[in-house]
Structure 1
Amino acid sequence: MLQKTSLLLLLLLIMIKAEAQKTKSPPAKANTASASNHQLQKKLDSIFSSYNKSTPGVAVTILQNGKVIAKNAYGMASLEFSVPFTHNTLVRLPYSEGREFISIAAALMEKDGMLHLNDNVKNYFPKLPAWSDVVTIQDLLNHSSGFADEWATLALTQASMANRLDKSQFLQFLYNQPEPSVEPQKGYMYSNSDFGLLRLILEKAAGEDLAAYMKRKVFDSLKMIDTRIHNDKEAVIANRAFTYNIDVGNSYKLWLQDKTSPGGNYFVLTSANDLEKWAAAHADSKSFISAAVNRLKQNARPIPVIPGTNYVFGQKHRKIGSYDAIVHMGVSELPYIAYIPEQNLTVILLSNLFLSRWNSMEKVLSSALGLETQVAVKSNFSQQPIEVDPEELKKFAGTYKWKVPLTYQSYVERKRFTEFVSENRVLKVLYSSEDTLDLVPVAKNTFRDPEYPDVFVFAQKHADSAMKVVMYTYDGDTIRMEKVLVTKPNLAREQLQKFTGNYYSRHLDFYWTLVLNENNQLVVKRPTIADKRIEPTADGEFRLMMDYGPYESESWIRFYFTDNGSVSYFTISHPRLMGHRFDKVQ
């Protein structure tokens, strides 16, 4: 009996073991997700291989379905003190990128009954000019208000557009504007005054500083503990990295040009780690942030002068392969978040290098999606100098007009020219009267800038066609130019003399004085700016180079005459300066 029982138990054990063998999981496969993530990490290392201990830094995070699948930081938060860049490093977002935050604040205040986006702006500041009676908060959000751009107009009176007005000066600037820059509610011009005024309206509606409101309502709610809006860029803040710009010889210098002011400018500091929470709130269709963005889109007019869907409040729709991407990016081309809804994929990219990084964002997105990425064209060029026949250099000399389509600024075409001259067996580029560089030939028709990694490629289809040049810039831009025949008027001293005198801007309550120097050149004198030469050009206009931040750009002066032929006034124009008028003082 015992033997029989033992046999039955043995058979039972065999059966249990056999059943276990049948239901046992198959051998574990390699963790393909981990392997894939490892490959993605290697791609990030390759994309950001130029960042090191001698460069500014960048932090990148890739998330899918809310989980981090790749994350790394490269380069330095401080080059001076050898502090590495991390995901906790705080970086200032440029103003056009920061507009997303202030726009969302407006939508949240509307939801809480503090204001309405259709409110007239004069309800908050009754001294605004009569022509602005119809202007609403929504017009500020759409850049259809007609208010002159504070920064571009300031360049008429200050040595640099980096200067800022205080609150009383800013409001007086708006109160004194005699006529709209564009037709209110219908026109379009990118104006920093719109968002300066918006901030002041939001603070009146909330009864508190915008920084305090955003901390309480948004940043604390999302646990973005380090993100803030503030007024003082000189404040000492832990983990804050100052922004760098590329200087000559591929070196770096601090970018200290942007100032905040009580005039309404806003200053957003954030970190890559905090942006994970900001991105998650946008990706969550039920969040209060998503609701605010949906409200903004209801009456938002995408920027009408550039192709695609580009919202003033700082979001753009782009294609990555066949995928739709929502990119958090302003006009500076400095994306900090990109989201692919179809894949629930988010990329966060934050850097303290003031340099267009859409190319980097596109490469990261393509890598995460398994798409092919193209190598930048300029990387194919040799850097070794060669000898070029001086007669060949003469073919490239001349004045070239930029083939610039309408920019984000307005419907006004940006007129810009670059001159190349051949002297002493060298091709030179004249960026401005103060900025001339000897180009280095690296191929028969290809030259590079000796200081920046910019490359110029000349081409001519046949002898009777216009010479063209493509400039590949260090920040990934491509600029196309075509040689034009420009006959500069050779005006006699007596002809130039009639333009001299004192001129007055009623809007700015500011004088310009035009004089002739000993070289028979017209010079504009202003008490706050070094003397500048104005050059006669074709079509009866004069060119004045002005400081618009990190670069000089052309502004165009046109004189108007009385019936007896004497000068009555002139206007000065730029895509963000709509015929600002100076009357001649008789």
Structure 2
Amino acid sequence: MRNNSIILNCNSKQINPMRTYQILVVFVLVLSISISANAQTKKNGKTSPCADNKQKEALQQHIDSLVASKVSENQPGVAIGVLWDDKVWMKKAYGLMNIDQNSSIDENTVFNIASVSKQFTAFAILKLEEEGKLNLDDNIRDYLPKLPAYENVITIRNLIQHTSGIASTDVLRLFAGVSFEKQWSQQNEIDLIMSYPQLNFTPNSQHVYSNAGYSILTQIVEIVSEMKFSEFLKKKVFDPLAMSSSFVYDDPKIDLSTCSTGYKKGKDQFIPFGNGKDYTYGAGNIHTSLNDMLRWGQNIFSSSIGQDNYINKISNTYNTLNNGDTLTYTYGFYVKNYKGIKMVEHSGGDLGFRSQFMIFPEEKLLLVLLFNTESINTRRLAYQITDLIFAGKIIEEAPKQRVEITVEKEKLQLLEGDYQMPDGMQFGFDLKQDTLWLVLPGEDRYPLYAESPNHFFLKAFKAQCTFIKGSDGSVNELIWHQGGKDYKADKTVKRKSLTKEELACYVGKYYHNSLKVEYPIALQDDILTITPPSTFKTYLDFDSVKLSHLKGDKFSTDNFGLLEFTRNDANQINGFVLLDVGRVQNIRFSKN
């Protein structure tokens, strides 16, 4: 499983009208360590982390103290490396690669880098394009005619940039109830893709992360190159760059005993997690060391094994969706702006392992972090190290100062009621003891604070709403502001509670033919509840999903977003659709 922590957003609380009903509560840890801007100098027009060895040692000590505060010597840990201007500026290891053997992590310790592997898959495709053996805009069925006859043409470029619409196999396995600790081969992965022909969306109309797309890419590499994917990377990448510790874990015969063990945090101790039974590749499963990743990083800047100006290709966004929106995902990387600095990055997550790979192309600086534990917030630590390295250069956005005012009760009463967004999402506002409360499906409540009689903000998370007053003085719509986007919602008639008899018509057993799994829905204490497979309890810590009625046959859920029941010609319930769970959309179940 790759990046399982972001599959469903099931454990976050987030209003996202295009995804789920929950509220995202973001807690930001700000590390404030003062390092003089004079500690940064220019070399060849690039920002150097340090001016001299003394400043270099001081900065490295700050980084060392930061990491040591997160990782104990007798626990699983991390290997960290920094490249600057093609030179290794820092590399250090913390913690144990194997607790039982009391063996320490070092620069040659091998980790599973999970989805950071995608950059190698994309590089393999670009290498074949460079050799004139394929075109990124080729139809993937030209190479793999046995793939499902998708209703739209899907190109190689669509697979690389997660715009294909093909459902992600990690989420499909989760919904099918297939354990991530079960033996799972590349053939199992392809069989699952073949069994699920339904696309999430028209290709290139959305960007939705899909591990399946990268599994398919490796099949194209193997057909075009007439080599196994692992052999191709060894011949074209690993051997030329002297990445002697690196390999694709595609065969159960490969010995992992000398590699680091992955761990998760138990109540009183760390527990080995991830038993090496996943042999899929393309989306993940490259095993490598810090030293090897630094060698790969040097190649990214120098293009020593082909792909001239590779750094420019991965760090410049020029592809667009059908609606004209620019894609920020290039070739196995996201392109972002981090506090005023251009950043190209990708993270990885698998059972017991995490990884972070960050490039700052305009500074010619690269940061690698490889973890054999799930207990550390890897992205946060990577960003804290980045803040230390670029202290004095980064631009911290000052939080907007919001001033509360008091609004008369009569004016607040005009705002009460239920509101609905275009995709069917509903939430309400309730006045209690002179305070206006946001009420979400499932009855989560958050107080709102007024900046003006019609504009309110929340303190629990970053979001605001503006109520729109009509010419007659009534309020029938609002604009929800969150994550830099605005969403319109209209006031609706108050929800009608369904009777027990009305709810009972939804009870039954629902089956998904492709996933070969049953989802029973029962009525418990007048609440409809889905019982999903045990994989949800194992990996996301919930074993039931409650449904809250919105209108008609549409319900909100506390974990699966919007659910809509379907009816046959006789107006009888014959199934339901989970509209959007992140990496998979429109999952259709039939009533038995």
Query: Match of 2:175, SS?
Result: coil
**Alpha-carbon distance in structure 2 between the residues aligned to 1:463 and 1:326:** 40
Pairing of 1:69-80 with structure 2 (within 5 A): 69-80=89-100
- Of 267, 286, 297, 1:279 maps to 297
Distance (Å, rounded) in 1 between the aligned partners of 2:495 and 2:181: 32
CA distance in 2, matches of 1:557, 1:462: 35
Secondary structure (helix, strand or coil) at the match of 1:198 reads helix
Please give the secondary structure, in 2, of the residue aligned with 1:581: strand
Letter in 2 for 1:536: S
Aligned-residue offset at 1:146: 2.2
TM normalised by structure 2 equals 0.66
Count of aligned positions? 478
Q: Report the CA distance between 1:300 and its aligned residue.
A: 6.7
Quickly say closer, same or farther: Cα 1:457–1:240, change in 2 above 3 A.
farther
Change (3 A) 1:297 1:201: farther
Q: 1:213 to 1:459 in 2, by over 3 A?
A: same
Mapping for residues 412-427 of structure 1, pairs under 5 Å: none
> Is this contact kept in 2: 1:147–1:194, CA < 8 A?
yes
Q: Give the Å deviation of 1:458.
A: 8.0
Deviation of 1:459 after TM superposition, in Å, equals 7.6
Asked whether 1:541 is paired with 2:554, we answer yes
- Counterpart residue number, 1:36: 55
Name which structure has the greater RCO, CA cutoff 8 Å, separation 6+. 2
Deviations 1:281-327 (A, max 9, x none): 0111565255556566799747999x997325332334455543433
Shift in CA distance, 486/100, structure 1 to aligned 2, threshold 3 Å: farther
2:66 aligned to which of 47, 56, 60: 47
Residue 225 (structure 2) aligns with: 206
How far has the Cα of 1:503 moved from its partner?
3.4
CA separation of 1:140 and 1:132: change in aligned 2, threshold 3 A: farther
Question: In the aligned structure 2, how far is the partner of 1:507 from the partner of 1:499?
Answer: 22
The answer to whether the 8 A contact 1:336-1:349 is kept is: yes
Contact 1:329 1:337 in 2 (8 A): yes
Identity %: 21
Q: Give 1 or 2: higher helix fraction.
A: 1
Post-superposition Cα deviations, 1:7-51, rounded to whole Å, max 9, x if no partner, equal: xxxxxxxxxxxxxxxxxxxxxxxx972212221221122221312
Q: C-alpha displacement at 1:489, in angstroms?
A: 6.7
Unaligned runs of 5+ in 2: 1-49, 399-417, 428-439, 463-481, 485-490, 538-542
Partners of 1:287 and 1:363 lie apart in 2 by 32
Aligned partners of 2:60, 2:370: CA distance in 1, in Å?
Answer: 17
Residue pair 1:60, 1:350 contacting (<8 A) in 2 also: yes
Given candidates 181, 185, 195, the residue that maps to 2:200 is 181
Determine whether 1:359 maps to 2:385.
no
Tell me what 2:173 maps to: 154
What is the letter of the counterpart of residue 548 of structure 2? Answer: P
Runs of 5+ consecutive residues of structure 1 not aligned to the other structure: 1-30, 378-400, 402-411, 418-429, 437-455, 473-477, 546-552
**Does structure 2 retain, via aligned residues, the 8 Å contact 1:303–1:311?**
no
The residue matched to 2:176 in structure 1 has which SS?
A: coil
In 1, the alpha carbon distance for the partners of 2:258 and 2:77 equals: 13
Aligned 8 A contact 2:114 2:284 in 1 = no
Q: In 1, Cα distance between the equivalents of 2:523 and 2:362? A: 64
- The equivalent of 1:142 in structure 2 is 161
CA distances 1:218-249 after superposition (whole Å, capped 9, x unpaired): 10000011011112579433642123344557
SS of residue in 1 equivalent to 2:68: coil
Deviations 1:370-424 (A, max 9, x none): 437899x9xxxxxxxxxxxxxxxxxxxxxxx9xxxxxxxxxx999899xxxxxxx
Aligned CA distance change for structure 1 residues 98 and 493 (closer, same or farther; 3 Å): same
Which residues in structure 2 correspond to 1:140-539 (within 5 Å)?
A: 140-158=159-177, 160=179, 166-232=185-251, 235-237=254-256, 239-247=258-266, 252-256=270-274, 260-262=278-280, 266-285=284-303, 287-291=305-309, 301=319, 310-311=328-329, 313-319=331-337, 322-329=340-347, 336-354=356-374, 355-371=376-392, 460=449, 468-470=458-460, 490-516=497-523, 519-524=525-530, 532-539=544-551
Residue by residue, what CA displacement relative to the aligned partner does 1:189-211 show, whole Å, maximum 9, x if unpaired?
Answer: 22221111112222222222211
C-alpha separation in 2, matches of 1:524 and 1:139 = 34
2:138 to 119, 123, 128: 119
Q: Would you say the 8 A contact 2:562–2:578 is kept in 1?
A: yes
Counterpart contact for 1:157–1:528, Cα < 8 Å: no
Q: Which of residues 98, 108, 128 in structure 2 aligns to 1:88?
A: 108
**TM-score (normalizing by structure 1):** 0.67
Contact residue 88 and residue 294 of structure 2 kept, 8 A: no
Whether the aligned pair in 1 keeps the contact of 2:182 and 2:278 (CA below 8 Å) is no
Listed one character per residue, the Cα deviations across residues 307-364 of structure 1 (whole Å, up to 9, x for unaligned) are 9973253323344555434335469996644344444333333222334433333333
Kindly indicate whether the alpha-carbon contact (under 8 Å) linking 1:118 and 1:138 is maintained by their aligned counterparts in 2: yes
> Highest CA radius of gyration, 1 or 2?
1
In the alignment, what sits opposite 2:19? none
Separation in structure 1 between the aligned mates of residue 121 and residue 252 of structure 2, nearest angstrom: 18
Give the match for residue 554 of structure 1.
Answer: 560
Superimposed CA distance per residue, residues 104-134 of structure 1 (whole angstroms, 9 cap, x where no aligned partner): 0111122234433222211232232333562
In 1, distance between residues paired with 2:591 and 2:381?
51
Give the equivalent residue in structure 2 for 1:579: 586
SS in structure 2 at match of 1:180: coil
Q: Please state how far the C-alpha of 1:76 moved relative to its aligned partner.
A: 2.2
Residue identity matched to 1:359: R
**Counterparts of 2:318 and 2:193, CA distance in 1:** 23
